[in-house]
Structure 1
Amino acid sequence: MERGKWNSVEDELWQHSRVGVIRASDLETLGIGQTTTYRQCQPGGRWRHLLPGIVLLERSQPTSRQRIEAALMFVRHDALVTGLQAARQYNLRAGPDPQFVHVLVPHKYCVRSSGFVVVERTVLFPSSYFRDGIPLAPPARAVLDGVRRIRELGPVRALLIEAVQSGLTNTTELRRELDTGAKRGTALPRRVLNEIDLGVRSVAEADAVEVWHQAGLPTPHCNAVLVDSEGVYAGMPDLWCDEVGLAWEIDSNEFHYSKELYAKTLARNSRYATLGIGVVQTLPSRLRAEPEAVIAELRAAYAVASARPRPQVHIKNSQPA
Structure 2
Amino acid sequence: MNNNTPVSPHRLSHLGHLSDDVRSRVLSLAQLRERGVPGGRATAQCRPGGPWQQPLPGVFLLHAGPPTAEERLQAVLLYAGRPSAESSRGVPAQPGRLAASATSASSASSTSTSPTSVSPYGAVMITGLAALSLYGFSSAPPLLSLDHVDVLVPRTRRLRSTGYARLIRAHSLPRPERIDGMPVAPVGRALADAVAESSDADAVVTLLTEAVRAGHCEPALVVRELSQSGLLARQHVVDAVDSLLAEGRTLAEGRLYELVRVYGLQEPLWNVDLRLPGGPHLGGVDAYWPDQAVAVELDTRAPRPGGRDAERTDDEDEQWAAAVRKREHLERLGITVVHLTPRKLREALDQQATVVRTALMAANDRDPAAQVVILPR
- The answer to whether the 8 Å contact 2:132/2:140 transfers is no
> Aligned residue for 1:94?
139
- Equivalent residues, number: 209
Q: Give the Å deviation of 1:17.
A: 6.8
- The answer to whether the 8 Å contact 2:232/2:238 transfers is no
1:124 to 1:51, Cα distance in 2 relative to 1, 3 A? same
**Among candidates 70, 76, 79, match of residue 124 of structure 2:** 79
Once the two structures are aligned, what percentage of the paired residues are identical?
28
- Structure 1: where are the runs of 5+ without partners? 202-224, 226-316
**Among candidates 6, 13, 20, match of residue 8 of structure 1:** 13
The amino acid across from 1:79 in the alignment is: V
Q: Distance in 1 between matches of 2:233 and 2:18?
A: 43
SS of match in other structure, 2:168: strand
> Aligned residue for 2:25?
20
> Aligned residue for 1:145?
193
- Structure 2: where are the runs of 5+ without partners? 1-5, 82-121, 250-256, 258-375
Q: Deviations over 1:209-242 (max 9, x none)?
A: xxxxxxxxxxxxxxxx9xxxxxxxxxxxxxxxxx
Q: Distance in 2 between matches of 1:153 and 1:5?
A: 55
Provide TM-score, normalisation by structure 1: 0.57
- The answer to whether the 8 Å contact 1:95/1:155 transfers is no
**Among candidates 215, 218, 228, match of residue 170 of structure 1:** 218
Q: Distance in 2 between matches of 1:75 and 1:50?
A: 13
> Aligned residue for 1:274?
none
> Aligned residue for 2:160?
112
**Among candidates 203, 216, 232, match of residue 155 of structure 1:** 203
SS of match in other structure, 1:198: helix
> Aligned residue for 2:183?
135
1:120 to 1:185, Cα distance in 2 relative to 1, 3 A? farther
Q: Give the Å deviation of 1:58.
A: 0.7
Q: Deviations over 1:107-144 (max 9, x none)?
A: 23322212111112211311111122111111111012
1:112 to 1:185, Cα distance in 2 relative to 1, 3 A? farther
**Among candidates 65, 71, 76, match of residue 66 of structure 1:** 71
Trace 1:202-281 onto structure 2 (pairs within 5 A). Answer: none
**Among candidates 232, 235, 241, match of residue 187 of structure 1:** 235
Q: Give the Å deviation of 1:9.
A: 3.9
Q: Distance in 2 between matches of 1:31 and 1:47?
A: 16
> Aligned residue for 1:53?
58
- The answer to whether the 8 Å contact 1:16/1:22 transfers is no
Q: Give the Å deviation of 1:39.
A: 2.2
Are 1:121 and 2:169 matched, yes or no?
A: yes
SS of match in other structure, 1:60: coil
Q: Distance in 1 between matches of 2:31 and 2:124?
A: 20
Q: Distance in 2 between matches of 1:168 and 1:119?
A: 24
- The answer to whether the 8 Å contact 2:231/2:237 transfers is no
Provide TM-score, normalisation by structure 2: 0.49
- The answer to whether the 8 Å contact 1:148/1:185 transfers is no
